[in-house]
Amino acid sequence: MIRLAPIAANLPATVPFVGPETLERQAGRPFAARLGANENGFGPSPRAVAAMQAAAGEVWKYGDPTSHDLTHVLAAHHGVRPENIVVGEGIDGLLGLLVRLLIAPGDAVVTSDGAYPTFNFHVTGFGGVLHKVAYRDDAEDPQALLDRARQVGARLVYLANPDNPMGSWHDGHAIEEMLDGLAEGALLVLDEAYAEFAPAGTIPSIAPDDPRVIRMRTFSKAYGMAGARIGYAIGHPGLIAAFDRVRNHFGVNRIGQAGVLAALTDGDWLARTVARVAAARDRIGAIAADNGMAALPSATNFVALDTGRDGAFARRLVDALAADGVFIRMPGVAPLNRCIRISCAPDAELDLLAAALPSALRSIGDRDEPAADARL
């Protein structure tokens, strides 16, 4: 028998997400509409594609282990110093490294119940103790997070702004006030994966050297490069330098580095993508209304649709759509799980959703009464 280390031996053999490829293999056919993973179906900039194609011939080389060029371009892009930037294998990879750096077995970490599960996966994987607070009005609750962090002496407090899975967001001033209320010794992990889609005023004004916060960004969403696995964090130079102690020094691939460098030069493509996503949000909202559901306001590239029922109903709807070739997801915790979540996509895929949704609803019937107290 293989003997696992104590922490790993006591963890369930699960992962935060079951990939659509796994579901396709189980079903024996591909999805016709891939609307569940918050990917950007509008795709990357043609400049990024060309740069990655050009770099493919040099894939025999390791990528620059310091991501020097990308770090310096990102620093200029954000008006910070290179010492404020660390590049990693997406936000997921950086979250794992951050937890490894700061959380010892038994240390307290605070997050929202129903928020991004990959963060929780890393915390439990390193022996941290998760403390969760409820969403309030379908949004993460900054004050509740602060209160719980003080109660338990949390080392890390996680907040996504805009939020996944609900698409809600807070004004930047609320995040700045949250920092002022943070207990000494706690670090705010501010996940800004959807920042490019957010309304004006959402992104807080925070000094890059502020030791109370680390901010996570990605090329997976607005830049349409989820498969490249490139993310980065902005933070105090002391914390950023500490990543060198634990990171995979060749983890950021050479082709991805070339692609995101080119993507950063194509502001017109990014602006067009943001506009396409906004139009897709409106289309998803119209499809929802046509089928007796309500679209929640969203500052992301997905929309949460309130089914007006409970989580069991939403789960049956997810499964019924999957059987018809439409892949979507849903939040995992009540009362958020009364919703289904639809990623923004080109019209051809939303056409498939519009065609499949009425029949999926008919197939599952009205076996549940509308939830009277669906919202917190």
Last residue of a domain, one of 217, 241, 263: 263
H-type alpha helices, the chain: 6-9, 20-27, 46-56, 68-78, 90-102, 117-125, 142-152, 172-180, 237-242, 254-263, 267-290, 311-323, 347-364
Based on the fold, state whether residues 259 and 279 are members of the same structural domain.
no
Q: pLDDT tens, 49-82?
A: 999 999 999 999 999 999 999 999 999 999 999 9
pLDDT of residue 366: 58
Based on the fold, state whether residues 291 and 157 are members of the same structural domain.
no
Last residue of a domain, one of 243, 263, 283: 263
Domains: count for the chain: 2
The answer to whether position 92 is within a domain reads: yes
The answer to whether position 236 is within a domain reads: yes
* Boundaries of domain holding 168: 46-263
Q: pLDDT tens, 257-297?
A: 999 999 999 999 999 999 999 999 999 999 999 999 999 99
Based on the fold, state whether residues 349 and 217 are members of the same structural domain.
no
- C-alpha dihedral (52, 224, 276, 137), degrees to nearest 10: -170
pLDDT of residue 308: 97
Tokens of 136: 């309030």
What phi, psi does 74 have (nearest 5°)?
A: -65, -40
- In this prediction, the residues of the chain whose per-residue pLDDT falls under 70 are 366-376
- Count the Cβ atoms, other than its own, within 10 Å of residue 80: 17
pLDDT of residue 15: 85
pLDDT of residue 371: 43
Tokens of 174: 């609320």
Based on the fold, state whether residues 208 and 250 are members of the same structural domain.
yes
Based on the fold, state whether residues 207 and 273 are members of the same structural domain.
no
Q: What are residue 203's DSSP bridge partners?
A: none
Interacting residues of 223 by C-beta distance below 8 A, sequence separation 6+: 40, 44, 45, 48, 196, 260, 263, 270, 273
